[in-house]
Structure 1
């Protein structure tokens, strides 16, 4: 009986699939996320998976097909969550039935998956692309490469340089899109992974490992830094000790903070514009303040798997408090403010940022919902609503070199779009006021989304 809600959901989702249909959105306010301009009263014509025409509604006669009146509404590119774990350890069983459709329900039409069971994530990538499964388009790493004693199931244990090279070659043969490195990768293995990934033509991204300096990761060609790891250490007078294995904590990082060293690493990252930051600010706040956040009162808790709420999150909360967040709460709160200040400085130096959430690996990371909260954290760090919106729309397109496909509402682009009832440039929280989602040309209206969310609440209750 536990499968029953999912079977009903799968049958219902099958009725939503459309093939090569024509959809015309009329009288929309179209948001240009590159400039912040809003073009009023626009018509957008979509055939199959692509936008074929955009222009003033008075000049375009809608072709035959579905007509969507977007009068008073705002149309923008679909959102990307650039740090996810769809099939990860204890939440992997919810990947297909809950997490992927919940992302689409929240306007997320693309994800970068940073660590999942290999077979599951490859199957999902194929099934979503073929419209056999409702979900965002996926860019995937498969399992993470971590140290020999990794605590994660969705990882490959790496002890030696040869282990690293072998893992890269195996993942390349299976067709992953990039390599994800984790914190415990040994130093020699890290550089072997970097060299082998470069040799086989795969980007490598992720954590700056504990045994590696941020400056060395820059020189090695690491494509992204997650969670600001490496930058804190580079800003500390104790960086050498940390790389050698000394323990670190918010208190020690703050006590050894050196503004001059911070300025140096910021300047280095600003010089290497090809390296992006994915700071996962909502999760960072939740991690360091885990004993003070009231996640049980979260308004979207009904979309979290029941086992997450009753077992996984309480266990994680206790584990984090015991093993990581041992500094006093005021010190950790100060460190969270320090993180936001670092993001402000990096952004002022024109370092590129990507919005990512780490969902559902941490506490209180409801898939889909957490991306909207991440955008709000960027605004708290000093970004304008437009700049925050760019981290989940335009910047992913730039990151992948696919401006011809994503990141704008223009002819020729893929039909990954979100229709809102209010302007997100006025208030970033308006990204949650979704009235319609186009995912690879498949349209879900507000009634469709309401029914989808109702069914997903049933699925969540069974997980």
Structure 2
């Protein structure tokens, strides 16, 4: 849900509405929350000229948007003019306008400048918009018998279901299911006057002031509704074989050796790989044959840095990602893991659940246990152990003096320790104090910058652009640090793809992390990937790009030094992992080694090397069939034609189609 909310808030939320109703559209104030922590607000009102104004702001670890949006509607409730001013999530300037004279619609933002002749009424979908726009759009659709409205520049949004629900016997609400915003349905709560009431989620939630205590109850009811959709999707997209299945005459990627073994038959039965035969050998009796000639059969891929919810399961499976590690989430994560395991929701195995801990303060993280003392931190570790979490993730606001006692407690309980390097601390000291892993390549780079940088804030990104290009990866200081990581068996998941967007892209240019697949995405989602990265001074654009290249150089240096690297994304599921692997090859790491990282190495780091990560008799049947040979062209990893997880068979083309994404074919 978090990525869907982000898309709606910072990328695509709709602008529209019902007829002017100056006497009925009363001012309403809303609060936004990360968990129980208030993070921002929305004010929804109507001005004396009949236009609607929405002021929207929230803060997330020093980031977050501030938007003032004004919408004037025509007599039929369609936008006549829209103006959005402020800044986006990364604090870059927002200036967006739309106008319609009934014959031509025009819109302009920092990423778009387009117009379209009007042949029938449609709504403009803002690149930067607020929940208020969504409210107006839905009010319009509620007055529309078809419950569907076309969008600019194309596409449509539909109210697919309305469920009337009474809360506590007194409050009558409508749970409205909307499709067309993103990959899965989106849910909003309205009152009986067709005014927005709440938008609860596992990430950023919003609810009308005075009703905050109802948010968990509304979210539970909403989740029940969502699960009905996901169950139906899972049933439509899952094939459970009845007996042995043979994948014939395929080329196997041996993740132990990094080599291709040509012309093999693989037989799996239930959820286990039963036999591996030479292609000249006779097949045993099977119930199904899958032709694998001219394809590469690989172990299912691992994404070692996710923050998953149910909506992202299909994107993973369709991309060949069958196992993940979750590195911070809501306390609903064990339930999501169970849904994926039972296949009531399509999704990968969540092998590792990480318990998130940060220190209370203005830059505290958005989820997990936010603690005010070392004692509370120790209690949080006990909680995570008791609730079957596997590791602890410490975050940027943690007092550096707490790291060692927290790590000691975690290790006593058999939990690994990883995370961001706390502010005013260097990675070297965090490793000496007990870290087993470091997340994000920028945390490595910051080790060679002053420890006075307040890395709780977005400085942990901008200072990379300013200074990373000066790091000497061949120098004694860097090489000594690599030796420390190697000696301590420290694991690094670089998530380098997210920094490519931040450090190298400008507003109006396609996000380089996803440029290869943008034409496959629904247009309303695609538009958001032109919003740019960090606000970079023009005279420093080359410098920031050089700093990104230095991050790649650092990854290669870590690899050359024998440090264990595992690929993670912290970005859009599935597609981001493909790009991460391509980036490692771009850094100079051989394709075979990169594919080992995404399979057997990750399986070993998660503790599942004896069950997953390689194609061997007796291991679990988590497999992907790829058109082409990723050992010769790493980008062939994008060409997944079949995914098998736990012995169940999934068709990526069919799964993509169910969420409006085009297959690579």
Alignment TM class, shorter chain as reference: 0.7 to 0.9
Question: Secondary structure at 1:141's aligned position in 2?
Answer: strand
- Aligned counterpart for 2:558 among listed residues 346, 350, 363: 346
Residue number in structure 2 paired with 1:32: 254
Aligned counterparts, 1:171-186, within 5 A: 171-186=384-399
Contact 2:511 2:530 in 1 (8 A): no
Match of 2:421 in 1: 208
Structure with more of its chain in strand, by fraction = 2
Higher helix share: 1
Distance 2:415 2:253 in 1: 33
Greater mean alpha carbon deviation, residues 391-400 or residues 295-304: 295-304
How far apart, in 1, do the equivalents of 2:420 and 2:522 lie?
Answer: 27
* 1:262 counterpart residue number: 478
Secondary structure, aligned partner of 2:481: helix
User: 2:371, 2:496 → 1: CA distance?
Assistant: 28
Mapping of residues 126-141 of structure 1, within 5 Å = 126-141=338-353
1:355 counterpart = 2:567: yes
Q: Indicate the residue corresponding to 2:143 in structure 1.
A: none
Please state how far the C-alpha of 1:389 moved relative to its aligned partner.
1.1
**Max Rg structure:** 2
Given that 2:298 and 2:625 are in contact with CA atoms closer than 8 Å, whether structure 1 keeps it comes out as yes
Which string of whole-angstrom CA distances, capped at 9 and with x for unpartnered residues, describes residues 17-66 of structure 1?
Answer: 52774211111111112223222221111111110111213224232312
C-alpha spacing 1:168/1:307, structure 2 compared with 1 (3 Å): farther
Q: In the alignment, which of 85, 94, 102 is matched to residue 307 of structure 2?
A: 85
Residue 244 of structure 1 and its aligned partner are, at CA, apart by: 10
3-state SS, counterpart of residue 116 of structure 1: coil
Question: What TM-score do you get using the length of structure 2 for normalisation?
Answer: 0.60
**Per the alignment, in what secondary structure is the counterpart of residue 375 of structure 1?**
helix
1:14 matched to 2:231? The reply is: no
| Distance of aligned partners of 1:201 and 1:305 in 2 relative to their CA distance in 1, 3 Å threshold | farther
SS of the aligned residue for 1:138 comes to: strand
Name the CA distance, whole Å, in 2 between partners of 1:197 and 1:151: 21
Report which stretch shifted further, 282-291 or 164-173: 282-291
What is residue 74 of structure 1 aligned with on the other side? 296
Give the CA deviation at 1:181.
1.5
For 2:535, the equivalent position in structure 1 comes to: 321
1:223 alignment counterpart: 436
Work out the CA distance in 2 between the residues paired with 1:342 and 1:434: 30
2:271 to 28, 33, 49: 49
8 Å CA contact retained: 2:355, 2:389: no
Alignment coverage as a number of residue pairs: 432
2:328 aligns to what SS in structure 1?
A: coil
Deviates more, 1:380-389 or 1:20-29: 20-29
- The TM-score normalised by the length of structure 1 is 0.84
Q: Deviations over 1:341-362 (max 9, x none)?
A: 1111111111111111112xxx
| Deviation (angstroms), 1:234 | 2.9
Q: Secondary structure at the match of 1:42?
A: strand
More displaced 10-residue stretch of structure 1: 7-16 or 186-195 = 7-16
Distance 1:155 1:302 in 2: 36
Kindly state the Cα deviation for residue 204 of structure 1 after the two structures are TM-superposed: 1.4
Tell me the distance in 2 between the aligned counterparts of 1:27 and 1:54: 11
Question: Residue in 1 aligned with 2:215?
Answer: none
Gap runs ≥5 in structure 1: 87-94, 360-365, 459-463
Q: 1:298 aligns with which of 515, 524, 546?
A: 515
1:431 aligns to 2:637 (yes or no): yes
Q: Which residue number in structure 1 is paired with residue 660 of structure 2? A: 457
Q: Is this contact kept in 2: 1:162–1:189, CA < 8 A?
A: no
Task: Structure 2 unaligned segments of length 5 or more: list them.
Answer: 1-159, 161-176, 186-227
